[in-house]
Amino acid sequence: MPFDFGPLWLSVQLSAITVGILMFVGTPVAWWLARTRSRLRVVVEAVVALPLVLPPTVLGFYLLLMLGPDGPLGGLLVSVTGRSLTFSFEGLVFASAIYSLPFVVQPVQGAFEAVGRGPLEAAFALRARALDAFFTVAVPMARRGFITGGVLGFAHTLGEFGVVLMVGGNIPGETRVISIAVFEHVETLNYPAAHALSAVLLCFCFVVLVTVYAVNRRFPVHAGG
C-alpha cells in the first residue's frame, strides 16, 4: 500500500497557516498584555488561557455552534459567501487559531515583559517612533519568545484532535488531518498504516524541536542589555 501523505501534508498546512495568523493576531494581544495596567488585563488573560484548560470537545462544541449555518458567525458567512465554516479547511484554521492562541500569546507576552520598558525608552530618546521602536527593538529583543511561540503553536496545532473532530469531521483533503487519520486507521484495525503515519509525525516533530532548540542556543537572549 503506498504511503498516504495527504493527512500529514494537510496537518502541516493547517499548522503553518494557523501560526501565521496567530503571529499577526497574537502579537498585538501579547504586547497589550505585557504593557497594560488596565483592569481588563486579567479578563483578557483568562480568555486567552481558556483553551489550555477547556476539554477540546467543549471548545469544539461551542465552535461548532458558532460556525454552523445557524450560528452567529456561520450564518453571517453563509449569507455572504454561500458556505459555512463547519466541515471545511477554513473552519479548521479558525478553530485551530482559537485553540492554539495561548501557546503563541503567552511566550511572546513573557518575552515582551522580559525586554521591559528600558530598551524602548532608549530607542525613543534616540528619535525612534513607536512603531519603529517596536519593530527594531522590541520584536528582535523578544525573538526567542516568537520562536518558542511559533514552535509551540505549530506543534500544538499539529497534534489537535478533539476540536478537529467536532468542527471538521473527516473529509479527505479537506479536514482529514493526521491525528484523525491515525485514529481512523486504529479504529479499522489497520495498524501498519497507523504505525507509518505516527512514526512520520514523531520523527517530524522531533526534528523540528531539535532544530528550534539548536537555533535558540545560537541566539541567546540577554535580558537588559
Partner 1 sequence: MPAAEQGGAPRLEADLVLDRKDFRLEASLDVRLSGVTAIFGPSGCGKTTFLRAIAGLEREPRGRIVFDATVWQDDRTFVAARDRRAGLVFQDARLFSHLTVRGNILYGHRRTPKGERMFRPETVVRLMDLDSLLGRRVSSLSGGERQRVSFARAVLANPRLLLMDEPLASLDQDRKEDILPFIERLAGELRIPTLYVSHEIDEVVRLASDLVLMSEGRIVASGPIEEVSNRFDLRSYAGRLDAGSIIRMRVAGHDPETGITRFAFAGGEVIGPRVDMAKGAEVNLRVRSRDVAIALDPPGRTSILNVLPGKVVEIAPNDGPQAHVLLDVGAPLWARIMRRSVDALELVPGRPIYALVKAVAVDRRSLGRPTAMDLSLAERGGGERGR
Kindly tell me which of 39 and 222 has the beta carbon lying closer to partner 1: 222
CA distances for 164 relative to 12, 43, 105, 126, angstroms: 14, 27, 21, 49
C-beta closer to partner 1: residue 70 or 121: 121
| Candidate list 35, 41, 83, 143; residue touching partner 1; CB under 8 A | 143
Q: Tell whether residue 222 is a contact of partner 1 (CB under 8 A).
A: yes
> Are the CB atoms for 92 and 15 separated by under 8 Å?
no
Helix residue ranges, H only, the chain: 6-35, 40-53, 56-67, 72-81, 89-115, 118-125, 130-133, 139-141, 143-158, 162-167, 178-187, 191-218
In the set 69, 140, 172, 173, which binds partner 1 (CB under 8 A)?
140
38 binds partner 1 (CB under 8 A): no
Q: Does 131 bind partner 1 (CB under 8 A)?
A: no
What are the cell numbers at 91?
473552519
Q: Is 123 in the site for partner 1 (CB under 8 A)?
A: yes
Smallest gap from residue 203 Cβ to partner 1 (A) = 33
Specify the residue, 30 or 123, whose C-beta has the smaller distance to partner 1. Answer: 123
Cell of 146: 516568537
Interaction between residue 200 and partner 1 (CB under 8 A):
no
CB-CB contact of 20 with 150 (8 Å): no
**Closest to 203 measured CA to CA, from 192, 213, 191, 211:** 211
147 touching partner 1, by CB under 8 A: no
Q: Which range in 92-100, 116-124, 175-183, 209-217 contacts partner 1 by CB under 8 A?
A: 116-124
Query: What is the binding site for partner 1 (CB under 8 A)?
Result: 118-119, 121-129, 132, 136-137, 140-141, 143, 220-225
